Structure 1
C-alpha cells in the first residue's frame, strides 16, 4: 500500500477513534451544540482550503448538505444516550440500508447479498449480546444509520470536489445544530480548557477526518477504501474503552468481527453490481492489433504519397517538376 493510502486509512481509524468518544467527554454541551462546533469550524477550514472560491455545485451536493446533518444528529444522540461502542456497532450495518434502497430501485438481490445481510445482522446481535439496551439510544442510532445509508447514495452521485462537499455538508450540520440549540447554555465555552477541547474535537473529528477520507478514497479503489475504513469500528470501541471506560465481552468482540466481515462481504457485492452497470470501454488493444495487420506496402505507399504532395507544395521544387512534366509531354 502506498504511503498516502496508508496515512488516509490510518487517519480514518485514529480520527474516528479519538473524536466520537469525545461526544460524551464534552457532556457539558448538547449533541446539537457539538454539531455547531464541528460543523462551522470544519466548514471554515474547508473554506480556507478552497481559497474562498466555493464555486457552483450539483444538486446531489446540496442533498448531501441536507442529509448529513441528520445522520450526524442520530450518531451524536446515540452516543450520548447509550455510548460510543453500541452506536458504532449498529452504524456498521449501514450497507444493509443501501441493500434495501437498491431493492426498491430495482437492483437485483442475489444470494451473496443475503449472505452478507445475515452476517451483519448476526454479528450486530452478538456484539450487543449481554450489553445494556436503551430504547432511546437505539432509536437515535437506527435513525442515524438510515440517514447514513441515504447519504452514501448521494455521495456516489455528487460531482463536486471533496472540499466542496465538506464545506456544504458541514455548513448544513452547523445550521441544524444552531437551530436546535436556541435554548442551550453556551457558558462553558468561556473556559479555556473547554474551548481547547472543543477546538480539538472539531479539528480532529471534522477536518482531519475529511482529509483522511480524501486521501484514502482518492488513492485507493472505492471498494478497498470502504473495506479498510470499516476499521474505525474497533478503533471507536477501543477509544471508548480508554476515554470512557466502556468494555466489551469476548462474545461481543466476536460479534464485532462477524459484523465487519459481513459489511465487507456486502460492500464487495455492491461494488460488483456497480461495475456491471458501467458502459464497456473501447478495446484499444484490438485497434492496435488491426493496425498491425495492415500491409506494410500500403502504409509506405501512403507515406510516400504524402511526402511527394508536401514537396510539390514548395514553389521552387513544384515549378521545376511542373516544367519537367510539360517538357516531357512535348
Structure 2
C-alpha cells in the first residue's frame, strides 16, 4: 500500500504545477524565470540528496570494510560519457516544461493538462513506428476512448473550435510530444545507475539547456529574492524533486502498468485545482471527458488483468 501511495502522491504533485505557473504569470514573471527557478530549485535539492546518499554509502563502506577512507563504487561508476547521456536525456523534460508552461499563456490550465495527456497515444504511435508494429485491437480501442474523452474534456462539443487559441493548442500538443520523447529516452539512459544520481544529472542537463535559452539575469539583479523564489521553490519541489523520488520508490514494487494508472491522477487534480483556485469553468460534460481519458489510460492494464486468470487456467490444463 505504501508503494501505491508513493506513486499516487508523485502524480498528484505534478497536478499542482499548472496552477502555480498561472499564479506566477499573474505576478508578471516570465517563462524563462518560471522554468529556470523551478529547475534551479530541483537541481539544488537533487544534488543535496545525491550528496546525502553518497555520505550514507561512505559510512556503510566504512562499517563493512573498516577502512577510514573508503571509495564508493556507485558514484564513481558514472563515467563522463554516462553523465552526458543522462544530461541529454534530461533535456526533453526541460523542453516539456517550456512549451507546456508557454501554452498556459494562451489557454486555460484545465485544457493545457488535457493536451499534455495526449502523450499517452503519441507515445504508442512513436513506439509502434520505431518497432514497425501496428497497434493491437485493445490499443486501437484505447486510442478511440482517449480521443473521445479529450474532445469532451476540452469542451469541443459544447463550445466548438472557434473559441480556442491555436497557438496554445499547438504548444500544448508539442508538450505532449516532448514528454513522450522524455519517457522514451529517460528509460534507456544508464538504467543501471542509482536513481538519485540519474535524477541529479538529468536535472543538470535540463537546467543547462534552460539557462542557455533564457540567461538567468534574475540571479544577479535581485529579482530572485522576490516572490519568484517562492514560486520557483514550489515548482521545483513539486515538479522536479518530489515526484522522481516517489516514483523511484514505488514503481519498482508495483510495476509500470499500475504506475501508469496511478500516474493519471495528475489529470483530475490539475483540472480540479484550475476550477477551485483559478476559477476556470469546468462543466459536467468536461468532467465526463476527464473520466473517459482516465479510463483510456487504465484500459490496457485492465485488459491484461482480465487475461491473467485465463492464462493461469490454461497453464493448469
TM class by shorter chain equals 0.7 to 0.9
- 1:81 alignment counterpart: 106
| Unpaired stretches in structure 2, ≥5 consecutive residues | 55-74, 307-317
SS at match of 1:247: coil
| Offset at residue 101 of structure 1 (A) | 1.2
Structure 2: how far apart are the matches of 1:75 and 1:235? 17
| Unpaired stretches in structure 1, ≥5 consecutive residues | 273-330
Q: Which residues of 2 match residues 169-318 of structure 1 at below 5 A?
A: 169-182=202-215, 188-191=223-226, 193-266=227-300
- 2:2 alignment counterpart: 3
Tell whether the 8 Å contact from 1:98 to 1:149 is kept in structure 2 after alignment: yes
* Residue 166, structure 1, aligned to residue 178, structure 2: no
Structure label with greater radius of gyration: 1
| Offset at residue 205 of structure 1 (A) | 2.4
Structure 2: how far apart are the matches of 1:169 and 1:9? 22
- 1:23 alignment counterpart: 21
CA deviation vs aligned residue, 1:156-193 (integer Å, no higher than 9, x gap):
323133223322222222223222324976654332x4
SS at match of 1:204: helix
- 1:96 alignment counterpart: 121
TM, length-normalised to structure 1:
0.73
Tell whether the 8 Å contact from 1:122 to 1:258 is kept in structure 2 after alignment: yes
CA deviation vs aligned residue, 1:294-323 (integer Å, no higher than 9, x gap):
xxxxxxxxxxxxxxxxxxxxxxxxxxxxxx
Structure 2: how far apart are the matches of 1:58 and 1:206? 18
Sort the Cα spacing of 1:93 and 1:266 in 2 relative to 1 into closer, same or farther, 3 A.
farther
| Offset at residue 143 of structure 1 (A) | 0.6
SS at match of 2:105: helix
Higher RCO (C-alpha 8 Å, min separation 6):
2
Sort the Cα spacing of 1:223 and 1:248 in 2 relative to 1 into closer, same or farther, 3 A.
same
Structure 1: how far apart are the matches of 2:209 and 2:83? 21
| Offset at residue 218 of structure 1 (A) | 2.9
Sort the Cα spacing of 1:65 and 1:205 in 2 relative to 1 into closer, same or farther, 3 A.
closer
SS at match of 2:282: coil
Quote the RMSD (CA, aligned, Å).
2.6
SS at match of 2:97: helix
Q: Which residues of 2 match residues 101-180 of structure 1 at below 5 A?
A: 101-105=126-130, 106-129=132-155, 130=158, 132-158=163-189, 159=191, 160-180=193-213
Sort the Cα spacing of 1:103 and 1:87 in 2 relative to 1 into closer, same or farther, 3 A.
same
CA deviation vs aligned residue, 1:135-164 (integer Å, no higher than 9, x gap):
111111111101111111123323133223
SS at match of 2:187: helix
| Offset at residue 38 of structure 1 (A) | 1.3
| Offset at residue 225 of structure 1 (A) | 0.9
Tell whether the 8 Å contact from 1:23 to 1:80 is kept in structure 2 after alignment: no
Sort the Cα spacing of 1:243 and 1:180 in 2 relative to 1 into closer, same or farther, 3 A.
farther
Tell whether the 8 Å contact from 2:41 to 2:232 is kept in structure 1 after alignment: no
Q: Tell me the number of residue pairs that the alignment of Structure 1 and Structure 2 aligns.
A: 269
SS at match of 2:281: coil
Tell whether the 8 Å contact from 2:3 to 2:254 is kept in structure 1 after alignment: no
Sort the Cα spacing of 1:197 and 1:32 in 2 relative to 1 into closer, same or farther, 3 A.
closer
